[in-house]
Amino acid sequence: MRVSELKTEYIAPRLSWMMESEEDGQYQTAYQILAATRPELLNEQSSDVWNSGKVLSGESVHVVYEGAPLEPRRVYYWKVRVWDKHGSASGWSGTARWSTGFLTQEEWKARWIGRARPEGMPLLPSPYLRTAFRVEKPVRQAFLYATALGVYELHLNGERVGEDYLPPAGRITASGCSTRPMRSPRI
């Protein structure tokens, strides 16, 4: 028996996983989640933000994070183990992660880019917005937060960022650039 396909969704994280077993009719009877600010803590079976303890539940989809308050613009790591119908614990899953963006309006310091629509004009064609910037220090990891009224496609250094094509308005997805660090040797 093992745990796979760890997923994290929503601003208040909802954690999901799948239990795999060679035994027919096997099911989960309990779980334990560890969450930490550093993956090394999880390697030591420790956590600094949440240890759910053993929770008697078959739930494995959209389990609500109930740990310490989350900090803005931070990466969190988590893993889970489950107990089967015989009361046997699985090994720990691999480590997954999620990150937070801005959690309050006051944290937002950037300005919106775009263009004003002339009064009385119908919708204008989508603009091509771009900017150049210089990085003075080595970059270990960077986050880019993006959304649009409508759809958008984001590129960095000429390469598309994320896995989604034309995500819907107001959505900043895990497969987009907001929750995955972008590492690029060409920055």
pLDDT one-digit tens code per residue, 3-33: 655 555 566 799 999 998 899 999 999 999 9
Quick one: what percent of the chain has pLDDT higher than 70?
76
Structure tokens, 170: 């107001």
d(CA 36, CA 40): 9
What DSSP state is assigned to residue 157? Answer: T
Distance between CA atoms of 150 and 14, rounded to whole angstroms?
26
Q: Would the pTM of this model clear 0.75, i.e. be above it?
A: no
pLDDT digits (tens, 9 = 90+) for 126-137: 777 777 778 889
Q: Are 140 and 106 in contact (CB under 8 A)?
A: no
Rama region for 45: left / alpha / beta (φ>0; ψ in -120 to 50; rest): left
115 within 8 A of 125, measured Cβ to Cβ: no
Q: Which comes out higher in pLDDT, residue 152 or 51?
A: 51
121: its two tokens: 């004009």
Nearest to 68 by CA among 54, 98, 47: 47
Assigned token pair, 127: 């603009």
The encoded tokens of residue 82 equal: 């489950």
The position carrying tokens 């613009």 is 73
Tokens of 179: 């929750």
Question: Per the structure block, which two tokens stand in for 73?
Answer: 């613009």
